[in-house]
Amino acid sequence: MRPSGRAPDALRTVSLETGVARHAEGSCRIRVGHTEVLCTASVEGRVPSFMRGKGEGWVTAEYGMLPRATHSRGDREAARGRQSGRTQEIQRLIARSLRAVVDRRAMGELAVVLDCDVLTADGGTRCAAITGAWVALHQAFEHCVLKNLISGNPIRDQVAAISCGLWKGEPVLDLDYAEDKDAQADANFVLTGKGGIVEVQGTAEGAPFSDAQLAAMLGLARTGTEALFAAQRRAIGR
């Protein structure tokens, strides 16, 4: 039995709420169990300088965690004066994941910044951020279509992410914090609505894992992202 009492393939309760940030072009509050991430998409009039004149858009991401999102208070990165390696790694992952499903030619030279701020952390924050950011990005592009900034929504597919792990040797879906800290392995899968793999990041925490265990975790992840894709579609009204 895993610590949460969930079945190995059971996802936590997921909710996606849009339009939660008054000023942003797109926004989504995602809750996966107790994990809660506020995702906003901000449309900016121009791409960064290294992208100018290419006729393409750009999507970037920033990630943060409120100091008391966690069990014990963490340092505020703004006060410490720099973002941790973990933060930078996560925000690079979020941006790559979203760019994988956007036709940047169809964006023109617009840029979108995705801000993913963790209000409460209980495991799986980077995966929740990706899943929620997709909804915020979709909403922001719809806004751009309405404003005639672009002629159609440049999103070509859905993208969502979920973590899997090995608990006492058995693959389990969607680790919460208590499970994550004792799991033998932790793997994050970023998958597309059409079934492709955008990103796999698997790490053995204790003993290395096998090819079969990797494949089993990938299988569970597909189950999980199917549910997430359905939730995303509901959130955008499809």
Numbered residues of the known binding site: 86, 124-126
Beta bridge partners of 155: 102
- Which residues are known binding-site members for phosphate? 86, 124-126
Count other Cβ atoms within 10 Å, centred on residue 57. 26
- Window contacting a second copy (CB under 8 A); options: 11-19, 77-85, 141-149, 167-175: 77-85
Distance between start and end Cα atoms, the chain: 36
Q: Are 183 and 8 in contact (CB under 8 A)?
A: no
Between the alpha carbon of residue 237 and those of residues 17, 18, 32, 106, 139, the distances in Å are 11, 10, 20, 22, 10
Is 192 near a second copy (CB under 8 A)?
yes
Candidate list 117, 142, 180, 226; residue touching a second copy; CB under 8 A = 117
Alpha-carbon torsion angle 119, 124, 126, 132, nearest 10: -70
Task: Compare residues 9 and 199 and give the one whose CB is closer to a second copy.
Answer: 199
- Window contacting a second copy (CB under 8 A); options: 51-59, 90-98, 127-135, 143-151: 90-98
Is 96 near a second copy (CB under 8 A)?
yes
Task: Compare residues 10 and 214 and give the one whose CB is closer to a second copy.
Answer: 214
The CB-side HSE value for 130 (13 A sphere, CA atoms) comes to: 31
The three-class DSSP label of residue 175 is coil
Instruction: Tell the smallest beta-carbon distance from residue 18 to a second copy (Å).
Output: 14
The three-class DSSP label of residue 16 is strand
Residues that bind a second copy (CB under 8 A): 21-24, 27, 34, 38, 40, 42, 44, 62, 64, 66-73, 76-79, 81-89, 91-92, 96, 100, 113, 115, 117, 119-120, 122, 187, 191-192, 194-204, 207-211, 213-215, 218
